[in-house]
A = this chain, B = another copy of it.
Amino acid sequence: MDDSLCPKFESAFELLGKKWTGLIIKVLLTGPKRFKDISDVIPAMSDRMLSERCKELELSGVVIRHVYPETPVRIEYELTEKGKDLFKVMEEVGKWAEKWGSTCP
């Protein structure tokens, strides 16, 4: 049988298999958020990382960055359709996490 991995699957995990990415997406599934809002929910993550991940996620088409030219300027990050489509993935991760609590067997 063909056990070789699908390249699409591999590239999905280039995204999800990076530190913080999953958590950022999870947070954005609750609606568009400002930089500060995301960083408040994930305090262990540094601003530098959040900034870097947001750029990567924008590049890969998972989030859009909205600039509202108010005073002071407001910037929001929102999931695209592609991003919102990760809902099911996150839901299953949530169920698994709930069931197994993680760490101990």
A102 at the interface (CB under 8 A from B): yes
A50 at the interface (CB under 8 A from B): no
Chain A binding surface, main DSSP class: helix
Q: Are A9 and B94 in contact (CB under 8 A)?
A: yes
Q: Are B94 and A92 in contact (CB under 8 A)?
A: no
Q: Are A93 and B102 in contact (CB under 8 A)?
A: no
Contact with A11, one of B42, B82, B103 (Cβ below 8 angstroms):
B103
Q: Are A9 and B97 in contact (CB under 8 A)?
A: yes
Within 66-105 of A, Cβ neighbours of B (below 8 Å) are at 80, 82, 85-86, 88-89, 91-105
Q: Are A96 and B86 in contact (CB under 8 A)?
A: yes
Q: What is the bound-complex CA distance between A41 and B23, given in angstroms? A: 28
What would 19 more interface pairs be, CB under 8 Å, given A3-B37, A5-B41? Answer: A6-B94, A9-B26, A12-B96, A13-B23, A13-B93, A16-B16, A16-B17, A16-B22, A16-B93, A17-B17, A17-B19, A61-B100, A61-B103, A61-B105, A80-B105, A86-B96, A89-B92, A89-B93, A92-B92
